[in-house]
Structure 1
């Protein structure tokens, strides 16, 4: 696979469906997350970022919650965005797509005037986020049947 890809904020139904298709492949099919909890009411108001190959094939996605939706996830701070649903297709792993998606979400958070980004990382991914400047805090907790930790990075 080519190492060339582009990112964009998902605009319109086709981009959103591409984001949801990547999430379904990664979270539902690969990781066994029940489909009825993968998609939630926050999707409608979230900023979704989509990574695509040169030929338009979706490679990855992530979403940013802000305002009240983010505050409901991060302990009540409306100045902190919530990065979530970061998913990269099996074929695109190892190409830097995940790290680039995190940086794209951080850019979107800055555009929203946010001071920091929070996330709930699967524990096997802690090192990935630590390399990007995130720090874990609080105890481990289950989410969708998998162990997670809260992490934050100031912008």
Structure 2
């Protein structure tokens, strides 16, 4: 029913960007110039679909050897609570493991801390503001099983 995949072409990237715009720009009021940034060019983008409809997005990028940063993870409001965020994170973590990224970090909105903690991420910072939204940094070591 749901599938998560790497955005392999411009259409799939645009679908991921569209989900991000709906969630971060329209719903959360993050300015577009902050949401769409210079890292979009070098990140690996992920998109989740229900049938052919894009419903979630995220990206990952290597920030130093062996360390990846998970960013812009979002699910359209009408699809929340159906474990799609978990599927997105599993897809990104699988990509990380396959590509030599054995530590992952992210900046989580504080309302999502429990979600990431259930996935094994640990808080590594005090609260800070990003785009007017409270966040905390988190990290996780991913291992090849």
> How would you bin the TM-score normalised by the shorter chain?
over 0.9
Number of the residue aligned with 1:59: 55
Post-superposition offset of 1:98: 0.5
TM-score of the aligned structures, taking structure 1 as reference length: 0.89
Number of the residue aligned with 2:14: 17
- 2:44 is matched with which residue: 41, 47, 57? 47
Question: Per-residue displacement from partner, 1:28-75 (whole Å, max 9, x unpaired)?
Answer: 000000001101111111111110011x00010110011xxx24xxxx
Instruction: Give the total of aligned pairs.
Output: 142
C-alpha distance in structure 1 between counterparts of 2:8 and 2:101, whole Å? 21
Structure 2: 5+ residue runs without aligned partners?
A: none
User: Equivalent residue of 2:81, what SS?
Assistant: coil
TM-score of the aligned structures, taking structure 2 as reference length: 0.95
Number of the residue aligned with 1:108: 95
C-alpha distance in structure 2 between counterparts of 1:7 and 1:148, whole Å? 25
RMSD of aligned alpha carbons:
0.8
